[in-house]
Structures are given as C-alpha cells and as structure tokens.
Amino acid sequence: MRLFFAIELPPAIRGRLGHVQQTWAAPDKYEVSWTKRENLHITLKFLGEVDDHRLGELLEAMKSLPSSGPIELRTEGMEYFPNRGPIRILAVQVGGDVGRLQRVYDQLEDICELHGFKREGRGYRPHITIGRSRDELPGYLRHGHREKPWPEASPMFAVSEIALMESHLEAGGPRYVKVAGFPV
C-alpha cells in the first residue's frame, strides 16, 4: 500500500481553495495540473509503499500518539515551491496554531522513525498543494508580485485527528482513501 499521513480539510475550506484554483486557472496563462478538490489536504508524512506487516505495527504504534484536543488552523496566503528558481508547485500557507501542529508532526516523526521510516531531512512547513506546474512558473511570483488575487485568510477550522491515507495512482490522477484516523 502507498501511504501517507495527512490532515483532511473541511468541505468549506476545500470550497475556498477550489475558488482560488479557479481564479488562477482563468484565464489559464500557465500549464498547471490542479489538485482535485476532494484530494486537498495538509500532508504530514509520506511513507511510500508499506507492506501489511509494517502497517499493522504502525497502526498499533500510532495509538501512543498523545492527544491534547483539536488544533485550530486556517488557510492564509500563497506559497511557492521550490524556494528558489522557477516555481513548480502552487500551495496555500497554513496558519493558526502551527506550534501545536509542529509538535504533532514531531511526535509522528518519532513514532515513524522507531518503526523504520526515514525521518524527513527538511524542516516541516505546513501547506496545501493546490496545483503543480507542467512548465516552470516565473520565480518573481514569490517576491510579492501578485498576478492573481488572494482572498482573505479563512476562518479557523478545528483539526481533531490525523488520517493515514492510501494513495491509488489512476489514469485520471490519484485517489485517496482513508485507512485510519488518530486523535490529536
């Protein structure tokens, strides 16, 4: 199974992000593959292919994830990846209680590392990927040049669990299925 940990988004937030995608897509100056609305999420950790035995161990280990109540998050401005040079990924920043989100991320990394999953080498930067560029987008977009409007920050939304998701790669793009949820 091809797995990753994520935070699922409420329908209202997915709707707001869908509007941002439409704003960017019309008129379509850039070749961008837009993330399907139902696939929009905040990635915590990509695991890759996981066999049934390791999955069972991981599910059991995740029961030790400390829970201290919902995390309040919101969507904010645009973000572009990579950090330098031509842009390949259009994303939306995540704000709110990112300190608590960082602690959950660190705890998740600890659990995964104990079960043989390599720790991420880069610092965690929560975001929601809304599209991937087929061609390189101009790097000046990240330096305050706003070709496209960005709506105000979203209302806060409560995150009460992280989800273990399975990714099915299909001709029409990936399809994500929730395997399990763990309270935060």
Whichever domain contains 63, its CATH number is 3.90.1140.10
Domain that holds residue 94: 2-183
Poorest-pLDDT segment among 9-18, 88-97, 134-143? 134-143
Residue 151 banded pLDDT, cuts 50, 70, 90: low
115 is an active site residue: no
The pTM is what?
0.91
Predicted confidence (pLDDT) per residue in 37-83, tens digit: 999 999 999 999 999 999 999 999 999 999 989 999 999 988 889 88
**Which candidate in 19, 115, 127, 168 is catalytic?**
127
Give the model's pLDDT for residue 10. 97
Residue 26 banded pLDDT, cuts 50, 70, 90: low
Domains in the chain, number: 1
Between CA 41 and CA 22 the distance in angstroms is: 18
19 is an active site residue: no
Query: Burial of 177 by CB count in 10 Å (0-12 exposed, 13-18 middle, 19+ buried)?
Result: exposed
φ, ψ dihedrals at 13, nearest 5°: -70, -40
Between CA 122 and CA 87 the distance in angstroms is: 18
